[in-house]
Amino acid sequence: MANANNHATAIQQYAIRLADDALILGHRLSEWCSRGPFLEEDLALTNVALDFIGRARMFYGYAAELAGKEFTEDDLAYRRDTREFTNALIFELPRGDFAFTMARQFLIDVFNLAFLTQLQTSTDPQLAAIAGKAVKESRYHLRRSQEWMQRLGLGTAESHERLQNAINELWGYTDELFESDALDAELCAAGIAVDLGKLKVAWEPQVREALSAASIQIPVDNWQASGGRQGKHTEWLGHLLCELQFLQRAYPGLEW
Amino acid sequence: MHRLMDWHSDILSIRPPIGLRPRPAGSTPELLPELSTEIRAILETVKDPEIPVLSIAELGILRDVEVQDDMITVTITPTYSGCPAMTVVEEDIQTSLADAGFSNITIKRQLSPAWTTDWMSPFAREKLLAYGIAPPCRTAEAGKTPSCPNCGSAEVREISAFGSTACKALFQCQHCAEPFDYFKPY
């Protein structure tokens, strides 16, 4: 627990960052509820949404615990504005069509599986415990999203085109997932955080191989968007939070 | 203080290591087994709200019970991170113990070791099967497909990776054409 004491504030920020990623993606997936292309996919999308929201609750809950009840997990989810959210941009992009949603999911599932596998060995016991639960879910998520890459990429001309468009649009947002800042560096040195630089080495070949098997090209142009970790977001996050936070903004402190 | 989880070992075929603490000096062991039988019977009535054929002990959600003086601490672990049934499970534990006259109840949530379907006993698996849900195979053989709980045929196909709850997938039997839930190995 020496690590936790020395780095309590940093761990708190780190947990909030991971929770923000999970909450925002969970919300995007939940938007598919009753709009899935067919019933089974509707169920799958919303079940995956639930896994991410559950993950967000565990990370927010831990951050709140470290802060000594100064705030609650609900305060973190419902009472912060866009500039205070530190999720990477890829999570907040609008859900797009089904191909876009599944392409993002695939890119993130590959990332999450590698990330959580590493986080399981964190010297912070609670982060390691959360990762130990979540990693099993990500393994299952990836199985499904990778199957969809095949189905869409090798399906009809239209499904292939839609998946290719999605990858073209998403590719420039993937680099941010591997960006390290001072917080990562501090916690990495203490064996608490995941070394993101090392992850990319495993992520990229795996993604390239799966997409190439689905006959999808990786875009060659080189733009990269970034800023989410510093609270600089796309305009889409504000719209998302309007919906996500509406009840607590309109009726502060409202409970079931 | 007295540990109640030993009764569990006959129905749980695989248990994660739970460190048994020695009973502190000065406790009155001769009275505790009686109390433990009572609490054990009460907790056995707490069922999973989504799968009411199984108790939370049989599912492996119930991890530990400690009794110290008049205080009962119940430790549970969530199945899936976002499982909405956990709040109901906590309420049911509180209510069932309160109804029996216990008032000093604490419920602890524990994440590690992470819940696994491998904790489900053969007996619990049989109950699931009789209820019409194909029980999970061992996680070591996670790729294996289930047999139809209706006719026993091995010719089945997956319809959906997720069923009515996060813990299940939807299958259909190719032989008797019956759709069925599969409790995923996890």
* Closest Cβ opposite residue A40 in set B80, B83, B159: B159
CA dihedral A88, A92, A93, A96 (to 10 degrees): 140
- Is the backbone of residue A227 left (phi > 0), alpha (psi -120 to 50) or beta? left
Q: Which amino acid is at A25?
A: L
Could you say which DSSP state residue A137 is in?
Answer: H
- Contact assignment for A50 to B82 by CB distance below 8 Å: yes
Six token digits for residue A235: 């305009």
**CB atoms inside a 10 Å sphere around CB A222:** 8
What pLDDT is stored for residue B15 in this prediction? 38
Residues forming a β-bridge with B75: B64, B108
Helix B85-99 with B32-44: angle, nearest 10 deg: 130
Q: Looking at beta carbons, which residues of chain A come within 8 Å of B108? A: none
- Contact assignment for B166 to A129 by CB distance below 8 Å: no
Look at residue B17 and tell me whether its pLDDT is greater than 60: no
- Report the pLDDT averaged over residues A171-195: 97
* CB contact B84 to A (< 8 Å): yes
- Report the pLDDT averaged over residues A78-93: 98
* CB contact A106 to B (< 8 Å): no
Which among A133, A134, A146, A139 is positioned nearest to A105, based on CA atoms? A146
What pLDDT is stored for residue A5 in this prediction? 63
* CB contact B115 to A (< 8 Å): yes
* CA dist., res. B105 & res. A178, Å (int): 45
- Contact assignment for A132 to B163 by CB distance below 8 Å: no
pLDDT band at A47 (very low <50, low <70, confident <90, very high): very high
Per cent of chain A over pLDDT 90 is 93
What pLDDT is stored for residue A192 in this prediction? 97
pTM (2 d.p.): 0.87
Q: Looking at beta carbons, which residues of chain B come within 8 Å of A126? A: 111
Look at residue B26 and tell me whether its pLDDT is greater than 70: no
User: Are the C-beta atoms of A216 and A149 separated by less than 8 Å?
Assistant: yes
Look at residue B8 and tell me whether its pLDDT is greater than 60: no
**Which residue is closest to A139 within chain B, CA to CA?**
B186
* CA dist., res. A179 & res. A17, Å (int): 13
* Closest Cβ opposite residue B166 in set A51, A125, A126: A51
Six token digits for residue A62: 């831990």
> Side-chain half-sphere of A219: how many Cα atoms within 13 Å?
16
- Report the pLDDT averaged over residues B29-44: 68
Please give the mean pLDDT across all residues of chain B.
81
Look at residue A176 and tell me whether its pLDDT is greater than 90: yes
**Which residue is closest to B184 within chain A, CA to CA?**
A140
What pLDDT is stored for residue B33 in this prediction? 54
Look at residue A82 and tell me whether its pLDDT is greater than 90: yes
pLDDT digits (tens, 9 = 90+) for B124-156: 999 999 999 999 998 888 778 899 999 999 999
* CB contact B140 to A (< 8 Å): no
* CB contact A140 to B (< 8 Å): yes
Please give the mean pLDDT across all residues of chain A.
95
pLDDT digits (tens, 9 = 90+) for B53-89: 999 999 999 988 888 888 899 999 998 888 888 889 9
pLDDT band at B35 (very low <50, low <70, confident <90, very high): low
Helix A8-30 with A235-244: angle, nearest 10 deg: 80
* CA dist., res. A229 & res. B103, Å (int): 46
Could you say which DSSP state residue A154 is in?
Answer: T
Q: Which residue has the higher pLDDT, A112 or B101?
A: A112
Look at residue A57 and tell me whether its pLDDT is greater than 70: yes
| Weakest-pLDDT range from A58-72, B11-25, B39-53, B160-174 | B11-25
| Weakest-pLDDT range from A143-157, A226-240, B158-172 | B158-172
pLDDT digits (tens, 9 = 90+) for A201-219: 999 999 999 999 999 999 9
What pLDDT is stored for residue A75 in this prediction? 95
Look at residue B37 and tell me whether its pLDDT is greater than 80: no
Give me the interface pTM, i.e. the ipTM.
Answer: 0.81
Look at residue A9 and tell me whether its pLDDT is greater than 90: yes
List of residues 6+ apart from A178 with CB closer than 8 A: A196, A197, A199, A200, A203
Q: What are phi and psi of A110, to 5 degrees?
A: -60, -45
* Closest Cβ opposite residue B80 in set A44, A51, A126: A51
Q: Which residue has the higher pLDDT, A136 or B23?
A: A136
Look at residue A245 and tell me whether its pLDDT is greater than 60: yes
SS3 content of chain B, % helix, strand, coil (to 5): 30, 20, 50
Per cent of chain B over pLDDT 90 is 46
What pLDDT is stored for residue B121 in this prediction? 85
What pLDDT is stored for residue A29 in this prediction? 98
